[in-house]
Chain A
Amino acid sequence: NAGVTQTPKFQVLKTGQSMTLQCAQDMNHNSMYWYRQDPGMGLRLIYYSASEGTTDKGEVPNGYNVSRLNKREFSLRLESAAPSQTSVYFCASSGLAGARSEQFFGPGTRLTVL
């Protein structure tokens, strides 16, 4: 049981490049989330998927798109990377709907945009 996995672990991009961060969970969870974590700050919600087939914006969605490919996978895409998107990105999942339940986090993707 791997839990939540994320790829890649590290990535360096140039301004304007695009990339997709991959996330998968094997816990049969309905809800999945993408957060970013900046130095000295807490996590901020980018997008979430309450269930397969649905996605919604979180607190900081600008510059990102998401796809809930199936129940297991939830990807985050940066179409045109900017230095302000340098951050650590975490994917999470939860078995119960909403923020009022335990979320299981992946190990994170450390992204640097030059």
Chain B
Amino acid sequence: GENVGLHLPTLSVQEGDNSIINCAYSNSASDYFIWYKQESGKGPQFIIDIRSNMDKRQGQRVTVLLNKTVKHLSLQIAATQPGDSAVYFCAENSSGAGSYQLTFGKGTKLSVIP
């Protein structure tokens, strides 16, 4: 089957710098994408989502960019803080997969250097 994956399994950034976490997807039918943050020993926590009719969506200190041409998704975190250290997952949904099925990527671990 088609998978959602990540370019980089680990990312280290200096506190205060911006972070960019990338995600590649191969299912051209995917039309909804979502980012989750998972801190060690905890369940995932929603960050932001985006539908395929948008290229960009902003939240508080986070921006998600969607490039449908190359099937690429990125999460940008501004002014990265120690509390941002976690594993970040992208996930996708397509109407063909069923309305309740989210396909998750393997995750990128973000480490913030104080």
Contact = CB atoms under 8 A, between A and B. Distances in A.
Interface residues of A, number: 27
Contact of A107 (B42, B99, B102): B42
B43 A106 contact: yes
A43 B104 CA distance: 6
A50 B100 CA distance: 8
B49 A100 contact: yes
A42 B91 contact: yes
Interface string A42-86: 111100101000001011000000000000000000000000000
A102 interface: yes
Contacts of B41: 107-108
The binding surface of chain A is classed by DSSP as: loop
Given A43-B89, A45-B100, 20 more contacts: A41-B106, A42-B4, A42-B103, A42-B105, A43-B91, A43-B102, A44-B104, A48-B100, A90-B43, A90-B44, A99-B102, A100-B34, A100-B49, A100-B99, A105-B44, A105-B45, A107-B41, A107-B43, A108-B41, A108-B43
Q: Which 5 residue pairs of A and B lie closest in terms of their CB atoms, listed nearest first?
A: A42-B104, A105-B43, A102-B46, A98-B99, A99-B93
Interface of B: 4, 32, 34, 41-46, 49, 51, 89, 91, 93, 99-107
